[in-house]
Structure 1
Amino acid sequence: PALIGALLAGYSMASPENVGNRNEMVVGLCRNAAWALSNVARGESTPAAPFLSMNHNIMSSSSPPGSLSVSLLTPHHLAHLLTAPERLDPPPSPSFGTKRPSHANNSSSSSMEDDLQPATWTEVANEVCWLLAFLTAREESAVDYLLESSSSRSMGRSTNELCQALACRLHVSSAMATAAVGVAHFSSVDAAIRMAIPCLRIVGNVATASDGQHVTSLLTANSNAHVTTTIAMGSDHDKGLIPQSLAQLISLGSSFSSISTGTSHGT
């Protein structure tokens, strides 16, 4: 609970209107807390229930992140953390760059230059993706809680806030990878693919849980409200973003393979 409290308290200080969203200490607190939580959750015998409010009487599942009435994670918190980059990070640079994907390399050694780089909300979202990947790999009751508690119905349409946030992260990473392949910027391709890996694990875990009862939520999730205009260009807004992103990544595999085999990278 203390780590979760640190994550949510840090996030509560940040909003598009709040200077906390640019405060390196606040962002670093959220990133480090999410990283620590994901490492605790990754243990094979670690259940998901202690991380989630599924067995606790909370005032509202839509309480704002950092609310003192909520001591554990809700689907609403996770969805907001997953889409934090789209709302809190500065606009993406037109040039490609790379960030540190903590779980891509489990080695404790990292360059001093990397350690001195300021934390970003994209890194926070990536760590939360890994946390969610481990939590959805545990008891099916946790997956049911996460998906069922984030579902709502409005104007005759069913939506799932957590699936929309997941669709956003997967779509952004697949779009970035595809764009980087187009200009043969292979380090950015690698970084984008590593961002997609925990998203793919979550999709697989959710799709296979509870006899596939949550598959429809995955297939129909569309996160146009979260995805920036630049990233959303080229997507079919009438179809779910997750199937589109999966198709994009599958196509990317053959494209990247053909490019890399015809180009020497010195490795």
Structure 2
Amino acid sequence: MARKYSIRVQQLSGELIGEVELPETARVEDILIAVKHGEPNPSLKRVLVFDGRPLAENELLGQLGLKAPALLELQQITKSLRTERVAALPDSFRAMHLGLFGELRAGKTSLLYRYAHDTFNERMMPNTIGMDFQVVRVMAHDVPVKVMLWDQPAGKERFRVNTSFYFRRKEALLMVIDLTNPHSFRDITDWLNFHETEAIRTKLLIGNKADLVEERKISKEEAEKYAREYGLVYFETSAKEGTGVHEAMDYAIFDVLAKEIKPKAQPTVREPLRRFNLRCHVQ
């Protein structure tokens, strides 16, 4: 039976945020899920600090250096999830593949070009053949990232190849709906029902065309309910006006980085010292 920690999370001011009991096999992200504080803000990242060190979400509690059962006192800080666009990356960088999924005319291609080039074209044709692809280079705090954005085809074209192809190497799924189309959930539901999506830990629901207030058919409450049912984080965007686009993309990038499972450090093995019989020969 796993031993448990009594966990207390506080703000830096000392104000108590919450308390929870978790086994030593739990991860830091389990604390963040169990202990809530106020309304969630997707543009801010909650970080737990132990003994002056920020913790990664995938760290096991049993590996923090405090033997259970024990009281684990943590502080919570928040970081702004904003990337910085750069023209070039260093030789060593993190490559990341994000996929945009959704029905025809949901605005996937427009979102892609708004984020990659900060442009919008009313006459842009939706992507129905093949996959559009854009590259964006950013600094995610101190991590250089080459972001590869894939605009997945919609309609019948997507069934012409093995659907697992569309999920290959994807680390985040951005499910795009058209807020002016009440049937817009159908296409992304089809995508989410593929078993390949289960292994992808970062998933967003993006309600696009939020600027078309008079034509809107899907309420924010309805979209948020759908997001909760499928384990998605919800954002509203307008590719035309640019609102919410960078916030959604930046969240996806930081969430992938936070959830990546890093290999355990291997212990250093030193070669045993050998005795050598050194002799000096003088000719």
TM above 0.5, yes or no, is no
More helix by share: 1
Give the TM-score, by structure 2 length: 0.23
Greater gyration radius: 2
Give the TM-score, by structure 1 length: 0.24
